[in-house]
Amino acid sequence: MSIWLLLPVVAGVALFLTGALRRYALARSLMDIPNARSSHSVPTPRGGGVAIVVSFLLALPLLAWMSFIAWPLAWALLGTGAGIAVLGFLDDHGHIAARWRLLGHFAAAIWALFWLGGLPPVVMLGFTVDLGWLGHVLAAVYLVWLLNLYNFMDGIDGIASVEAICVCLGGALLGIAGSSHSTDFAAPLLLASAVTGFLFWNFPPARIFMGDAGSGFLGITLGVLSLQATWVAPQFLWSWLILLGVFIVDATFTLLRRLLRGDKVYEAHRSHAYQYASRQFGRHLPVTLVVSGINVLWLLPIALWVGLGGIDGLLGLLIAYVPLLGLAVKYHAGELEKQA
């Protein structure tokens, strides 16, 4: 099968499965009920992200069999993605203590790093730096943070889906334009296709939510793909960090501000910049569209600039992130809601 036939098939499977999951959630009353910390006002089915997981993971062995990805990457994505999705699914349907969730997150990260070979050497200010075991530890923390920040940022209709699609398309363009390997675009495009099928149901106003199974899966999968890309070209790590900038800046700035204030950071809240913005606009759609615009018009060109060797990665990251930090401040990221 050609990959160009596989991609629409994966999108179609995700589209069909999401619809089926929505009917299942409605029949079983698996609903996300609005509360004081919610960004939505209508009870909505949850758990639709399972469709992304299933459609993507089922197609991965085909990609490896067709030699579009190496088998070690396939095993990394399969084991890590399935483990995190199951953990998120169980948490969606009950409650797992935070310490056990975190243990599972690190176990999944270690599995991925085992198959990837850890953190590759990183180019910084013109120097190639091999951090050794410290780098592997930092890579595990990075994967776990991406997983959790994706959960934090999945708070309004369509935003997590749009972010994943934009990042994956950017990663695919990097693979096409900045790599000598002709197949480095395949895995990001496969994930983008799976998310596109789900987005049909999740676009504002959402008819089903992703749930922790989907958002955690997307976060760690994007992290694994970014590390794999770094093995292809060291500067690609900076490019992927730039592509993920909207989520990284908002989530990290919000977390740090809440930590400094002494908040219980594991408790639910709605003090991210995107949540304040959605309340200011009165709808989710404008914020989701603006995130898309920032990704395509601002972050993607800088990521490609870095990936093609036009500018140092750290400098490119700073250029990309400064306006995002300005938006985080403007939209009160991390502030108590009454201060907005």
Q: How confident is the model at residue 37, as a pLDDT?
A: 61
Give the residue from 212, 209, 214 showing the smallest Cα distance to 45.
209
Q: What is the pLDDT of residues 188-227, one digit of tens each?
A: 999 999 999 999 999 999 999 999 999 999 999 999 999 9
Report the alpha-carbon angle 334-152-119, nearest 5: 105
Angle between helices 313-330 and 245-261 (to 10 degrees): 60
d(CA 223, CA 232): 15
Query: In the Cβ-directed half-sphere of 9, how many Cα atoms lie within 13 Å?
Result: 10
Q: How confident is the model at residue 339, as a pLDDT?
A: 45
Q: How confident is the model at residue 9, as a pLDDT?
A: 97
* DSSP string computed for 194-250: HHHHHHHHHSSSPSS--HHHHHHHHHHHHHHHHHHHHHH-TTHHHHHHHHTHHHHHH
Q: How confident is the model at residue 38, as a pLDDT?
A: 65
Give binding residues for Mg(2+) as ranges: 151, 212
Task: Output b/e per residue, 288-321; b: 16+ Cβ within 10 A.
Answer: bebbbebbeebbbebbbbbbeeebbbbebbeebb
- Residues in Cβ contact with 100 at an 8 Å cutoff, skipping those fewer than 6 apart: none
Q: How confident is the model at residue 49, as a pLDDT?
A: 96
Q: What is the pLDDT of residues 149-177, one digit of tens each?
A: 999 999 999 999 999 999 999 999 999 98
The reported pTM is 0.96
Peptide bond into 8 cis (omega under 30): no
Give binding residues as ranges: 151, 212
Could you read off the pLDDT tens digit of each residue along the chain, which spans 340 residues? Answer: 689 999 999 999 999 999 999 999 999 888 888 765 667 778 899 999 999 999 999 999 999 999 999 999 999 999 999 999 999 988 877 778 888 999 999 999 999 999 999 999 988 888 888 989 999 999 999 999 999 999 999 999 999 999 999 999 999 999 998 876 768 899 999 999 999 999 999 999 999 999 999 999 999 999 999 999 999 999 999 999 999 999 999 999 999 999 998 887 777 788 999 999 999 999 999 999 999 999 999 999 999 999 999 999 999 999 999 999 999 999 999 998 764 4
